[in-house]
Chain A
Amino acid sequence: ETGVTQTPRHLVMGMTNKKSLKCEQHLGHNAMYWYKQSAKKPLELMFVYSLEERVENNSVPSRFSPECPNSSHLFLHLHTLQPEDSALYLCASSQDSGGGPNEKLFFGSGTQLSVL
């Protein structure tokens, strides 16, 4: 069993659809993250949750809505996306989010999202 699991692996959606990405970590970590990875661009941090509280919202459009019901689960709800939102969405967790080596990230396999 991998440490961080994400579903689905691939998602194709129209601009009017609503979908959700799911992430689960089995590492007992306190922090969870959503990152966006686009071609030719660096990893972009979208959201950080620490102990189920959102501690970072990196100017992400409201069409992306995160949810963290407990320290092991993280969702990213998607609605009325644009074609430029097509990218690899990566979930990650870390022991904590206060800096230092405990902030090393464990990534899930990602969801390759295509918006038509």
Chain B
Amino acid sequence: GQNIDQPTEMTATEGAIVQINCTYQTSGFNGLFWYQQHAGEAPTFLSYNVLDGLEEKGRFSSFLSRSKGYSYLLLKELQMKDSASYLCAVRDPNTNAGKSTFGDGTTLTVKP
């Protein structure tokens, strides 16, 4: 089976750094995606990791350890607009085409 775990909620202060973790247990692995979803809006793609290590993209970075089944999304210099839900999704090649399994999402609240 597939199991994706993320914290339900996190709170951080504007200007700070926050790390959102995602752990997964899947029969196979072919990439991990992070998406951002503001309330009432559609999810938007943030990052993709398939090899171990850190991928940096501006204020956002994503890390992957395949041996530990672990990823995190790092948000630096937090802004109020970063308040959103962050979704982790894992692609298992043993599932049918196009089938990434999503976690429940982490709701991040950024406070002044």
Interfacial residues, chain A to chain B (CB-CB below 8 A): 4, 31, 33, 40-43, 45, 48, 50, 55-56, 58, 90, 94, 97-101, 103-110
B103 and A42 contact, CB distance less than 8 A: yes
B98 x A50 contact (CB < 8 A): yes
B102 x A99 contact (CB < 8 A): no
**Is the pair A98, B97 in contact by a Cβ cutoff of 8 Å?**
yes
B50 contact set on A, CB distance < 8 A: 100-101
A41 to B8, CA, bound (A): 11
Q: Please report B residues at the A interface, Cβ cutoff 8 Å.
A: 4, 30-31, 33, 35, 41-45, 48, 50, 87, 89, 91, 93, 96-105
* Sample (11) of A-B pairs whose CB atoms are under 8 Å apart: A33-B98, A40-B104, A42-B101, A48-B99, A90-B42, A90-B43, A101-B50, A105-B45, A106-B45, A109-B41, A110-B42
- CB contacts (< 8 Å) of B100 on chain A: these are 45, 103, 105
Query: In the complex, how many residue pairs between chain A and chain B have their CB atoms under 8 Å apart?
Result: 71
Nearest Cβ in chain A — how far from B50, in angstroms? 7
Question: Which chain B residues border A98 with CB–CB below 8 Å?
Answer: 97
Bound-state Cα–Cα, A90 to B31, Å: 22
Q: Which 4 A-B pairs have the closest CB atoms?
A: A97-B98, A107-B42, A48-B98, A43-B102
Q: Let me know if A103 and B91 touch, CB within 8 A.
A: yes
Assembled-state Cα–Cα distance A107/B46 (Å): 13
Question: Given the complex of chains A and B, what is the CA–CA distance between A13 and B35 in angstroms?
Answer: 30
